[in-house]
Amino acid sequence: MSNSDRLPDYPVNSDLVKRLKCALDAKDEETVSHLICAEVRHVDAVIELANDDWMKDPSAQLPTSVLVGLWTLEYKRELTTPLCIAAARGHTTCVQHLLSRGADPDASPGGRGALHEACLGGHTACAQLLLQHGADPDLLSAEGLAPLHLCRTAASLGCARALLEHGAWVHRVGGAARDTPLHVAARRGLDEHARLYLGRGARVDARNGRGETALSAASGEPGRPEERARRLHLCALLLRRGAAADARDEDERSPLHKACGHARAGLARLLLRHGADPGALDYGGASPLARALQAAACAPEAAPQRTVQALLNHGSPTVWPDAFPKVLKTCAPAPTVIETLFNSYPQLRVSESWREVIPEEVFQMHQAFYQSFFALAHTPRCLQHLCRCAIRKLFGKKCFHLVPLLPLPESLQNYLLLEPEGVLH
């Protein structure tokens, strides 16, 4: 009998469930504890917290997706146990009480066991109690996830430690993505979790179902600035532990492709310093530079010129000259990107017809730059720029390393490294 066919001891319309749901909604922890410890008839009772089976109510207003037949035979039903509720809420005393009365630590009528719930909530004390009472540290949920896969927050570090101490397999793959716990930690920016797993023998370059390593998974996540900082720290850890900087996924995308696709300049520089290939092409024929230029068009406020600058200073091939008008059209709102890329060519013929691809409001917003840009339609580049290009050609892929060693003022070093000035000469 499947979970959806199982008859609950306490259906969704029962008095106890109604009171329990009110207490849960009100975050009345005392009442929740009393109901699951004192009023439920037996410790492994099945409680139905939700049932969206519209077929039970012919008068129900069906959503459009049902009407068009997308979800005709599907509905959501949430079955659980007192132990799962207590573990999910972090009620250590309730968990202890239920276990002492013989509750099954691995019961999972709703697809997840109490240990899954404790890890998901980061409740270490509950997880330890469950493990001490024989909970399976590798129990798979209905989605194929082990408890380690649900250690997804910083607060769950203690849970992860407890699981490993009780024999959880650090190499376990799970879910549709076939992620290992290290993949989960990398994707979430959990460097302490990653350090723990690596210390327990996790393979730093293990692949998931999409061919991603942990480094690739971490590189492909966007997020807020503080999340980016955590993932950068984690990526540095993975690289120190021997992660391959150029590992490709099933689409032939490297971590550098992904970092550039999210305008993550700091990560791009880190990967390049560890030997990532700036000229690598994915299955679609896109280079990291192409991905960086796409990101510039989507998020000009994220300083995408830093990513472009890093790639060019590590030897990335430039855009084919005939394609520059397309770049201009796409990246017009980010003139520092246009400037950085344009300065990587010794001489690129500017056409006044390119003015048509720049929206008028963008031109007016960055008038000083675009006036200097189109002034070059009738003027060759200055000698200083030509000298810059000659030095950069000589240094090649080592520009980033060699330019700072030159006995030059910092302003000239920055000039050689394509630091934007706001106008073109």
The confidence score (pLDDT) of residue 214 equals 98
Residue 295: inside a domain: yes
Alpha-carbon distance 8 to 47, whole Å?
6
Q: Which of 124, 158, 192 is the last residue of a domain?
A: 192
Residue 269: inside a domain: no
Residue 153: inside a domain: yes
The confidence score (pLDDT) of residue 72 equals 42
The confidence score (pLDDT) of residue 353 equals 93
Structural domain of 334: 281-425
What's 79's DSSP letter?
E
pTM for this entry: 0.88
In 3-state terms the chain splits into helix, strand, coil percentages (rounded to 5) of 55, 5, 45
Binned average pLDDT, 10 residues per bin, the chain of 425 residues: 65 92 90 91 90 51 44 64 95 96 94 97 98 98 97 97 98 96 96 97 97 96 81 96 97 97 94 96 96 87 91 96 94 96 95 94 96 93 96 96 96 97 93
Residue 223: inside a domain: no
The confidence score (pLDDT) of residue 70 equals 43
For the chain, the domain total comes to 2
Residue 360: inside a domain: yes
The confidence score (pLDDT) of residue 6 equals 60
C-alpha distances (whole Å) from 271 to each of 258, 290, 295, 313, 314 are: 11, 17, 18, 13, 11
Residue 238: inside a domain: no
The confidence score (pLDDT) of residue 221 equals 83
* 70 phi, psi to nearest 5 deg: -75, -35
Quick one: 2 and 147 in the same domain? Answer: yes
Which of 233, 166, 244 is closest to 193 using CA atoms?
Answer: 233
Quick one: 16 and 160 in the same domain? Answer: yes
Quick one: 288 and 423 in the same domain? Answer: yes
Residue 233: inside a domain: no
Residue 236: inside a domain: no
Quick one: 154 and 292 in the same domain? Answer: no
Query: Residue 106 maps to which CATH number?
Result: 1.25.40.20
